[in-house]
Amino acid sequence: PSINKLAIRVFQKAGNFLENSALYLDIIHRNLEIKKLFEVSQKLLASLNTDEILDFILESLNEVIPYDASVIFLLDNENDELLPKASFGYSDKTNELAMKVGQGACGWVAKNKQISNIDDVNIAENYYHLRKETQSQVAIPLIIQDEVI
C-alpha cells in the first residue's frame, strides 16, 4: 500500500482507539453512578437514622460529582421554612441557618419545585453568601409524591 493509504489506515485506527477509550471511560463513570445509587438505596433500607442517611448521601454524591461544599435542607411544614440537616464544607454556623420557603435560591427551589443553577453567585440576586470561596451553586428540590420534603 502507498504511504497515504497507510497513513489513512493508521489515523482511522487511532480514531477508533480514542473513541473506544472515551466509551470505556463513560462506562466506568456510569458504573460508579449505579454503584453509588445502589449503596444509597441499601443505606436507606438498612437505616432509619435520618442524619446518617443524609451524611451518606452527601458522601456518595461527592464521589460521583466532586464538590467542595453542600447542604441538604429539609422542609419544616409547620413553620414553612427550610432547615439544614446535613452539610459538608461549611462552617458550623450553617447548621443554625433556616430560611423561609421562597427566600434565597434554596427557598425559591422549594417553592417552585424546580432546579436552580447559578453560574456566578457574585451576581445572583437571590443567593446567600455563606462561603466566600463559593463561585457557583446548584440547588435541587427533594420531592416525594409531588411534595417537597
Contact in structure between 68 and 78 (CB atoms under 8 Å): no
- N-terminal to C-terminal alpha carbon distance within the chain: 67
Residue percentage of the chain with pLDDT more than 70: 97
SS3 43: helix
pLDDT given at position 1:
64
Find the DSSP H helices in the chain: 3-46, 50-64, 104-112
Q: Provide the residue type at 103 as one letter.
A: Q
Mean pLDDT of the chain: 88
The model's pLDDT over 40-95, given as tens digits with 9 standing for 90+, comes to: 877 776 777 888 888 988 998 898 889 999 999 999 999 999 999 999 988 877 76
pLDDT given at position 84:
92
Confidence of residue 18 (pLDDT cuts 50, 70, 90): confident
User: Around Cβ 92, how many Cβ atoms within 10 Å?
Assistant: 7
Confidence of residue 8 (pLDDT cuts 50, 70, 90): confident
Contact in structure between 102 and 86 (CB atoms under 8 Å): no
Contact in structure between 149 and 143 (CB atoms under 8 Å): yes
